[in-house]
Structure formats: C-alpha cells, structure tokens
Amino acid sequence: MEWKAIPWQKLERKVYKLQKRIYRASQRGDVKMTRRLQKMLMKSWAAKCLSVRRVTQDNQGKKTAGVDGVKSLTPKQRLILVENLKLCSKVAPTRRVWIPKPGKEEKRPLGIPTMKDRALQALVKLALEPEWEARFEANSYGFRPGRSCHDAVQAIYDTIRFKGKYVLDADIAKCFDQIDHKALLRKLNTFPTIRRQIRAWLKGGVMDAKQLFPTTEGTPQGGVISPLLANIALHGMENLIKRVFPKRGYSENGVKKTFYPPSVIRYADDFVILHEDLTIVQSGKDIIQEWLKDMGLELKPSKTRLAHTLNPYEQEQPGFDFLGFNIRQYKVGKYHSGKDKYGRALGIKPIITPSKDKQKVHYEQIAEVINAHRNAPQVALIKKLNPIIRGWANYYATQVSKVAYCDQDYLMYQKLRAWAKRRHPKKSGGWVSKKYWQSIDGDNWVFATRQKGNNPTRLLKHSETPIKRYVKVKGESSPYNGNLVYWSSRMGNNPEMPKTLATLLKKQKGKCTHCGLIFRENDVMEVDHRIPKSQGGKDFYDNWQLLHRHCHDTKTVTDGSLGNQSGCNSAKPKLTKRLERVEDKWVMRYA
C-alpha cells in the first residue's frame, strides 16, 4: 500500500477506540485489562502508522535530524519505518543542542532522538497516556492534552476570589535533568516490554560536540515521551497534601466550621500552595521537599517565594508571578468589590495582569526586530512584527490586560517613529507621519503601507485584541473520556488559537473538511484554499477551510497548488457520496 492510499480515518477511529477503552479500564482499576489493551494497541499497524505520521509530517521537528542524520522522510521511507517499528532495548543516543531560555542568557539542553526513536516514543505514548490521564490529579495542567496555562491561572483565580491567602510559589530545580531513573521506573509500574524500552531511552546517553556522555539521571528534553514521564514523576503531590491535611469539620466558640485543605496547583515543574493559614503553607513546603527527595529532586531556592495575595508579608510585596501573569488582590470599594455566594460584598478583588518581566521581554523582542530592519521595506517589518504581537496579545487576552496593551502600543509607536525619522533625516515630522501612518476605519494612527487599489498591509495593535474570559476545563475531564463535542467546542475558545482558526472551527463544526473527522486537542491544523491561489483563489473565509496538516499535504498534491496538471482541470472537486460508520451510527459524507 502507498502512503497516500492509507485510510487514515479508519486508523484514527480504531486507535481512539482502544485509547478510550484503556482510559476506562485504568479509571476502574482493571490493571489486567489495561495491560492487555496497551499491548494490543502497540502491536496494531494503525498505531504504528499514526506514530510515524506524527513525527515525520505533523511535528515541527520533522526536519531536524538526530545522531544518524536522518530527517524529512519520503513516503516510501515512512512505510519502511512502519514495518521496522518494534520495541527493543537498543537505542541510539540523543543529539544535544543548547537553546537559549527566553529573556535570559542561560541556555537549556535539548536532546534530539533519532527519527526511529521518536516514532517509537510516539507509539509508547499512545498506549501510556490514556492510562495516566485517568490517574492524574485534577489540578495538574502542564503537558497534558486538553489543558493549558490558562486553566492553571483560572484555577488560582477560583481559589483566591473570596479571601486573601498565603502562597508558596515554588519551582523545581532542573526537573527534567535530575529525575531518578529507578524511582521513575518503579512509579511507572508497567509491564516489562515498555519498562525495558523506557529504561533504554533513559540510559541511552547523549552526544554533545562529537563526545558521548552517559545519562545516569533525568529525561532528555526534546523527546516525544519526556513530558509524560516528567508528569508521572511529579504525580501525587496534590494527593499527598490532601492526605496530610484532610477536609474536616470542627467547632469554634460553638460555631460549626469546616477546615479545607491547601490548594496545590501545578503546571509542569512550577506549582503553588495556597491557604489562609501561614503555618499550613510552611508545613506543606517541608512535606513537598521531603517527597521530592524520593525522585532525586529539590526546590530551587532562588525561585521559591512565600507571600500573601492581599497584604505585604515580611519584605515581600503582595501577589506573585505565575506562568507570565501577576496575580494579586486589591482592597476596593463596594461598587468594584467581589461578592460571596450570598451576594455580600467582600471588599477585595483579585486582578490578574501580565507580569512586568514578561512585558519587558516582549518589548525588547519588538525593539530587536525593529533595529534589525532598519534598512528593510515597511512591508517586511510589518510582516515580521505581526505574528509576535498577535501571539503575545492572544496569550494575555483572558485577563485584565488592556493597560499593558496600551503601554506596549505606546512604546512600540516611539520605537517606530525613531525608525521612520532615521530613514528620512531631512524630512519634517509631518511628512514622515503621512508616509508611514494612515487613517483606517476611524483610527488616524495606523502604521501601514500605501498601496493603490489594494488593502494596505497594516501593523496590528495590542489594544485591538478583545478581552474574553476563559472557562476552565471541567475537573478531571480528559479528551479520552469520549466527549468529543465538549472538546471540539473548547478548541474554538482557546485563547492561544488565532481568530481565523477559531472562526473556521466554528464554521466547520469542529470537523476537518477533507477527512470528516472531528479535530482533537493535539491535532496540527492548517488553513487551506479551496481554490488554489495559482488558479485565482482569494483570501476570504468562503475560500478557506481548516484541515489537518497531513490532510493538507494530501490535498496539495492533487489540487494543482504545486503546478500539477492533474488537479488544474477542475477548480471544484466533484462531490461523491459515501456511507461510513462512526461509533455506533451510520452517517452520509461527501468527498
């Protein structure tokens, strides 16, 4: 069978059904059934094909080679890789690449496995992830399908909305690099085949500057399965705190009250402990420190801070920074105050804004781009800045960010004005303004090009991004529970998703128009022109459709986008009916 002729829809349905069964078996504690289904999944040809497609077509690292130099596989090479995809204890070392941390001079080590090991890791992850998704704690949000930074921030908001609390803001030092291998494998507690394979990946070594170094601890950052292993290593933190400080009722001066345990909210290796009692937060810190020693980990003192969300504590200012947001409470009057469940004013209000550090890093990034384009055309500068502005503004569009947006726009305007004056030192300020700024839709100061007869290329403004409140994921809900309607609708409301993708998702009811499958949380999506631009297609929503990246590749081969004559005869493909079985229903599709 050729790669393009593989029935991907059937393979995805088959694998997803097995993953749902693994999730449910793990949820009810049926270990024997879980192991049997995992073995069935990893032996299936469908799972192997999907794993190879994930690392060779969908992932951004498909053009990055490991120590063997293999990258950008052809369809024939992908089929060969599928046939040779078998678990074994012999693995190649990872290739180490040092990448800079954002806004810092410090660098992070990235381990790049070979293409075969990446496909194997994707295959093992298909089997392990549903099992552990049924076990993971409700307030664990990092590196999990269907969860994001905004869920963690919203969980903190829900915790502090009614009263001020003490907070331990902590970070685990070199989490990925110091996880104890024996403790991780013991906690993983899986069957011998997967255990030997994961142990081989952990002990495979790393190649740095043509020298081989052994790996005695840690998981390689850059592997497909590494985030899942890190989550497994840190699983249990929240449950431990709840066991030590259980919910209980007590009486104080004849009044019945309830003691609530501390709230532990974790995103990867960053976590916070929140409670109104200082001694409980301090005790929680000591308990977590002892618990981390079993995994070979420890807290990073420079990033561990004890503060209060409303009042100054010792020499610490109120509030704390978490995932790029500054979270704190303010004393306000009755007209701005939050209310309790009985409608009574509390006199306080939690406000979450972009942190000062992240605002500074963002401005420095914009200034660096402007400085690098001193002699470039205005169009090139705008096209380089727009993705940076759009991504940063969308990330913070769920909280109180309008003031920060206006500050960034003002600083960016000052930088652009200096950029424009430098290009025309002998011209007046009015002449420069008329050349580079226009009046569009009532806004008199839009940095845009002057093009006759066409829409001008304009620079986005931070303040144009609308603020939309984020709805946190429901409790312990997971994409493997089978509620595809809930998860497909959540994707359209994701603040990190561009407006074009969200609009097309809503228009297509969460489905890919090429294969007919509902988009899942981890799918890579791309916007495609129904009528290719080479055949006169326009950039309008009526001519756009949202496809999987692999579906986009398949369509591009046949629709004439690459100059193929086979697809140039008809701009609109002929519609043919086909009957397919989806779950327990028969549906009519058009192809």
Give percent of the chain above pLDDT 90. 48
- Tell me if 170 sits within 8 A of 307, measured CB to CB: no
pLDDT in tens, 121-155: 999 999 999 999 999 999 999 888 888 899 999 99
DSSP summary character for residue 569: S
| Mean pLDDT to the nearest integer, 232-243 | 93
Q: Which long-range contacts (CB under 8 A, 24 or more apart) does 523-526 make?
A: 523/58, 523/548, 524/58, 524/59, 524/548, 524/549, 525/501, 525/549, 526/552
| Mean pLDDT to the nearest integer, 50-62 | 89
Question: In which element (H, E) is residue 98 found?
Answer: strand 94-100
> For residue 99, what are the β-bridge partners?
108
| Mean pLDDT to the nearest integer, 330-358 | 88
Question: In which element (H, E) is residue 317 found?
Answer: none
Lowest mean pLDDT among 213-217, 253-257, 422-426: 253-257
- Tell me if 58 sits within 8 A of 526, measured CB to CB: no
What's the one-letter identity of residue 190?
A: T
- Tell me if 213 sits within 8 A of 267, measured CB to CB: no
Average model confidence (pLDDT) for the chain?
Answer: 85
What's the one-letter identity of residue 261?
A: P
The model's pTM is: 0.81
Q: Other CB atoms closer than 10 Å to residue 23's CB: what's the count?
A: 22
Comparing CA positions, the residue from 499, 159, 502 lying closest to residue 352 is 159
pLDDT in tens, 536-550: 777 778 888 888 888
Comparing CA positions, the residue from 491, 527, 511, 515 lying closest to residue 578 is 515
Residue 384, token pair as written in the block = 């380089």
Reply yes or no on whether the pLDDT at 103 is more than 80. Answer: no
What's the one-letter identity of residue 390?
A: R
The whole-angstrom separation of Cα 523 and Cα 547 is 10
Q: What is the pLDDT of residue 583?
A: 37
The whole-angstrom separation of Cα 243 and Cα 60 is 42
- Tell me if 71 sits within 8 A of 63, measured CB to CB: yes
pLDDT in tens, 150-188: 999 999 999 998 889 999 999 898 888 889 999 999 999
Give percent of the chain above pLDDT 70. 91
Q: What is the pLDDT of residue 439?
A: 86
For residues 446-476, one letter each, b for 16 or more C-beta atoms within 10 angstroms of the residue's C-beta and e for the rest, the string is: bbbbeeeeeebbbbbbbbebeeeebebbeee
Q: Enumerate residues 6+ apart whose C-beta is below 8 A from 434.
A: none
Reply yes or no on whether the pLDDT at 30 is more than 50. Answer: yes
Residue 54, CA distances (Å) to 125, 197, 224, 412, 482 in order: 12, 20, 10, 39, 21
Confidence of residue 584 (pLDDT cuts 50, 70, 90): very low
Q: What is the pLDDT of residue 587?
A: 38
Confidence of residue 288 (pLDDT cuts 50, 70, 90): very high
Tokens 């002892």 correspond to what residue? Answer: 290
The whole-angstrom separation of Cα 254 and Cα 444 is 67
Confidence of residue 590 (pLDDT cuts 50, 70, 90): very low
Nearest-5° angle of CA 398, CA 401, CA 406?
140
Q: What is the pLDDT of residue 570?
A: 38
Which is higher by pLDDT, 63 or 570? Answer: 63
- Tell me if 335 sits within 8 A of 324, measured CB to CB: no
- Tell me if 184 sits within 8 A of 233, measured CB to CB: yes
Comparing CA positions, the residue from 171, 132, 184, 182 lying closest to residue 19 is 132
Give the domains, in start order, of the chain with CATH numbers: 357-396+401-464 (no CATH), 498-590 (1.10.30)
The whole-angstrom separation of Cα 221 and Cα 177 is 8
Helix (H, G, I), strand (E, B) or coil at 563: coil
Reply yes or no on whether the pLDDT at 569 is more than 60. Answer: no
pLDDT in tens, 482-507: 776 677 667 665 555 566 777 787 77
Nearest-5° angle of CA 161, CA 162, CA 167?
65
